[in-house]
Structure 1
Amino acid sequence: MADEPFRYQQLEQWLLQGIHDERWKPGDRLPSIRELCDQRGLSKATVQHALQRLEAQGLVEVRPKSGHFVSLVPTITKTPRIISRIEAPRPVTVSDLFQDIMRRSAAFDLLPDLHAGALPPGIVVLNRAIGRALRRQRGDDFQYYDEPAGEQLTIQLARRGWPAQPDDLCITSGCQHALFLALMASCQRGDVVAIESPGFYGVLQLLEQLELQVVEVPTSTDTGMDIDALEEILEHWDVRACVVSPAFATPGGALMPMDARQRMMALADRYDLALIEDDIYAESGFSQIPDTLKALDETNRVIHCSSFSKVLSRDLRLGWISGARWHSRILHLKLVTQLASSRYLQQGVADYIEEGGLTSHLRRQRGLLRERRDQLLTSLQAWPVPVRVTIPQGGLAIWLELPDGVNTLAAYPQALDQGIVITPGPLFSVSGEYTNCLRLSFSHPWDEQRSRALS
């Protein structure tokens, strides 16, 4: 589990969620400082610090001798709306815009041509660990393929409720490669796959390549896939697999609650469904690291996929997959598609984890991501139009809904003329919906240039 946030952060998040859920509406008075101290068991200084942070975000205003009130005209309103209708399965055609964004290395950056400053300390330590592993080559070891035991990975996963064994894991070239292997192993051409909507556009690319059909499941940007909708879909169509991100899913950072996870597992058993868990964002949780969906898998049908690319380094193309009842087939497909993974890259990362480097890096990174998310929300308060946004507790991005009539696809080339790359909402669905939505990342520092691009 992640380190617990400071108590002022816990109170800030509780108040923020209350505003977000409209427990306190615009113009409502918040509990007094004394009431919050008594109710939450906090000191006066802790409560004041939390309220000051909310005031800095433009969500709370102070009225002399009256107290703290939710801002009367907040530009940020409640959670973005979702598309609730269910449509029949269809083939997938990925927009050329996706290829353009990836070519610009802009999936999580408004200004991909803006080079960052010094490497974070955790990445410096990682590079040293990998360098040491390379220097420790002996004799003709470099001529052989090998995969170091996944003991360090299993220790990490055991902390999240899943007592995996090294033989349960297969090393891949990132999470996208793992998802590709999972779909190839569990599906055949023409099969129907259920996915989240809005959901990860990389999955759409894989489905198109494998000639699979897609049925989109309405997905809350707060709590994830709508299980009632999933059940309705399973009753109507023969779905072979379901790709789901239970923890801080892109684009909105949804976190699926335990009861929904349990219902999903029961449906998978009833309808003989392969559940493909995209777990890539879980370790980014600001105040909690949820257990894996795989931890609930008593019938060996959850294919767990993840990597280090989102929480450590995107240049580190090192992921893993646990294939459940399809694992033997996945091992064969791994040999066909990649043959082997770098032995010394794996050893360097294993040493880095064992020496505590990953734990230290993640502790710092989670704090930075929380700060950058708050800075992004504060900046959006200054936008001239009202927007609906998610307030995720992990992940790398928010999902933003602009007023009806705004077309983010049409805005893409206009922004590109200014050197700004946006990620339009329609990329996250095959339905043609979400034209007035954007995914905005907070993974980079909000320096002057990025802040100016955002405004």
Structure 2
Amino acid sequence: MGQGHRLSSEYRYQQLEQWLLRGIEEQRWRLGERLPSIRALCKEHGLSKATVQHALQRLEAQGLLEARPKAGYFVSLQPRTVRQPQSRVSIEAPRPVNVSELLLDIMRRSAAFDLIPEFRAGDLPAGILALNRSIGRALRRQRGEDYLYYDEPAGDAGLREQLSLHLARRGWAAVPEQLCITSGCQHALFLALQACCKRGDVVAVESPGFYGVLQLLEQLELQVVEVPTSPDTGMDMAALEEVLARWPVRACIVSPAFATPSGALMPLESRQQLLALAEQHDLAVIEDDIYADTALGALPDPLKALDRNERVILCSSFSKSLSRDLRLGWVAGARWHQRILHLKLVSQLASSRYLQQGVAEFIQDGSFATHLRRQRHELRDRRDRLIAFLQAWSTELRVSVPAGGLAVWVELPEGVDTLASYPKALEQGVVITPGPLFSVSGQFSNCLRLSFAHPWDERRTRALNQLPELLLRG
């Protein structure tokens, strides 16, 4: 149907629906782009507002459009049209961890979640501006000799109160006494592992899984056994059951909400099976909950909400949902909580009081919730644009479609070696995160993690467009 063509009176909403559908299929409006406004569609096609809204709502119900308040309708990703990764890790005996020097190189370049290996100045987002104001007010409220005293090891009571309310809204009725403030999620995970494991113990991890956990296991001289995961449902419970039957596993580290690198969301049935296995095998479950607040839809309940036997140690921070520079996290230590408080005291002593108070105010006045709502739309748009870029490649790919988190997991054709491509990409000013970094067994050589944490500006788009040449024809 051409520009300005008037629709017939019969089934007018259906004709408009078909016209919009063809426009999406022909990429007149690409993934993540905004459709013409309701007013514009009414004028162009001579339709009532109710008729146009009905057609748009039918497309939204099919998952083709997303309605954004005060912004309009946007072309939405259709997960069913994206081929999901299928690579599976084989179950191997526990082994010590030896973290790759390549990971340290990526971290030194501050590019773990970026294709560009340097910082660039830009305007601060509204949420960060509001956070800075809250922290500034907390600093100005310091009086007398406050600066001469340490905070209590558990952390600021006001921040723990706000965190407990935030967790309660997600389904876990936490109280401040169950929480301890840490210097980020990595610190929380470190305390959790120290509290429930000793040198030489076996720890089960997701594979592919978070390389930061592998770093901690190496430092603590723990052994690791890798458990296969699915990009849809996370850790394979049947595989975990097999692992627990074969080896004396002391702890299991999982990310039920949007595990990196795949972005998997563990379903309720798997969560219940995990807790049953933990009880059967006397297992500590360490929940890495750091990505939950990046949810593109409703915030998922923490696994901790199902914990009836004090076996789940919940760890998280603000670094993925708010600011990497904040370095504030928290841990709920379950039956190991007193041990964790002691370890916090001897390893960090205390956290910054005014920083905690500023963040507590930021949460209390609703600024954090506002930030998360804004971030949800931004991340969805960036994810969809990234997947649209990848689908345009001339080779067949498998790509995860996470409902949260900051990255997708890309499976390239067999024979592609992302590890070998790293130095070639670096020569072109592009930093990739090869798949083998997410395993201790050297698997996933034809995979990589790609982040959508940053806006797709000209530099990142150019770097992304270089990848087919670097990875597939290098």
TM-score by length of 1: 0.85
Q: Is the 8 A contact 1:77 1:386 kept in 2?
A: no
Q: CA deviation at 1:290?
A: 0.9
Flag the 1:104–1:56 CA change in 2: closer, same or farther, 3 A: same
Name the amino acid aligned to 1:162. W
- SS in structure 2 of the partner of residue 276 of structure 1: strand
What is the aligned partner in structure 2 of residue 287 from structure 1?
A: 297
| Matched residue, 1:355 | 365
Contact 1:57 1:378 in 2 (8 A): no
**What's the counterpart of residue 107 of structure 1?**
112
169 and 56 in structure 1: CA distance in 2 versus 1, 3 angstrom threshold: closer
Aligned to 2:279: 269
Q: 1:238 to 1:372 in 2, by over 3 A?
A: same
Q: 1:135-185 CA deviation, whole Å, 9 max, x = no partner? A: 111001011112321110000011111111111111000000000000011
* Aligned mate of 1:327, from 337, 342, 345: 337
Corresponding residue to 2:261 among 240, 246, 251: 251
Alignment of 1:44 onto 2:55: yes
Distance 1:269 1:380, change over 3 A: same
Query: Does 1:210 pair with 2:220?
Result: yes
**2:236 corresponds to 1:226:** yes
1:178 aligns with 2:183: no
> Contact conserved, 1:82 with 1:218, CA < 8 A, in 2?
no
Unpaired runs of at least 5, structure 2: 1-20, 22-52, 67-72, 466-474
| 8 A Cα contact 1:58 1:381, kept in partner | no
Deviation at 1:57, TM superposition (A): 8.0
Q: What is the aligned-residue identity percentage?
A: 67
In structure 2, relative to structure 1, the CA distance for the partners of 1:55 and 1:128 (3 Å cut) is: closer
Change (3 A) 1:164 1:48: closer
Give the 3-state SS of the residue equivalent to 1:43 in structure 2.
helix
Find the residue that maps to 1:105 and give its secondary structure: coil
1 CA distance for matches of 2:102 and 2:461? 24
Correspondence 1:431 to 2:441: yes
After TM superposition, give the deviation of residue 56 of structure 1 in Å: 6.6
Letter in 1 for 2:287: E
- Go from structure 1 to structure 2 and tell me whether the alpha carbon gap of 1:155 and 1:418 turns closer, same or farther (over 3 Å shift): same
Per the alignment, residue 39 of structure 2 pairs with none
SS in structure 1 opposite 2:305?
helix
Structure 1: gaps (5+ residues): 1-14, 16-41, 61-69, 71-75
Amino acid at match of 1:104: R
* Kept after mapping to 1: 8 A contact 2:319/2:327: yes
Query: 379-388 or 362-371: which moved more?
Result: 379-388
After superposition, the C-alpha distances for 1:93-134 in whole angstroms (9 at most, x for unaligned) are: 000001001111111000131515211000000001001101
For 1:145 and 1:289, how far apart are their aligned partners in 2? 34
**Number of matched pairs:** 401
CA contact (8 A) 2:234 2:264 kept: yes
Name the CA shift for 1:126/1:56 in 2 (closer, same or farther; >3 Å): closer
Partner in structure 2 of residue 95 of structure 1: 100
Partner secondary structure for residue 273 of structure 2: helix
Larger Rg, first or second structure (1 or 2) = 2
Within the alignment, does 1:401 sit opposite 2:440 as a pair?
no
* SS across alignment from 1:97: helix
**Comparing 49-58 and 314-323, the one that deviates more:** 49-58
Q: What do residues 179-218 of structure 1 show as CA deviations (whole Å, max 9, x unaligned)?
A: 0000011000000000000000000000000000000000
> What is the CA–CA distance in structure 2 between the aligned matches of 1:411 and 1:357, rounded to whole Å?
42
Inter-partner Cα distance in structure 1 for 2:413 and 2:99: 25
State the match for 1:5 in structure 2.
Answer: none
Question: CA–CA distance in 2 between the matches of 1:290 and 1:52?
Answer: 23
Map 1:61-100; keep pairs closer than 5 Å.
77-100=82-105
Equivalent residue in structure 2 for 1:139, among 144, 152, 163 = 144
Match of 1:335, SS state, is helix
Distance verdict in 2 for CA 1:58–1:318, change over 3 Å: closer
Q: Give me the whole-angstrom Cα distance separating, in 2, the residues matched to 1:45 and 1:157.
A: 35
Alignment partner, residue 22 of structure 1: none
The equivalent residue for 1:148 is 156
Inter-partner Cα distance in structure 2 for 1:144 and 1:356: 29
User: Alpha-carbon deviation of 1:77?
Assistant: 4.7
Structure 1 pair 44/317, CA: closer, same or farther in 2 (3 Å)? same
Cα distance in 2 for partners of 1:55, 1:341 equals 43
Deviation of 1:266 after TM superposition, in Å, equals 0.4
Change (3 A) 1:290 1:59: closer
CA contact (8 A) 1:397 1:442 kept: yes
- 1:37 aligned partner: none
Aligned to 2:391: 381
Q: What is the CA–CA distance in structure 2 between the aligned matches of 1:152 and 1:234, rounded to whole Å?
A: 37
Shift of 1:43: 2.2
- Residue 368 of structure 1 aligns to a residue whose secondary structure is helix
Q: Which residue of 2 aligns with 1:66?
A: none
Q: Calculate the aligned-residue CA RMSD, in Å.
A: 1.9
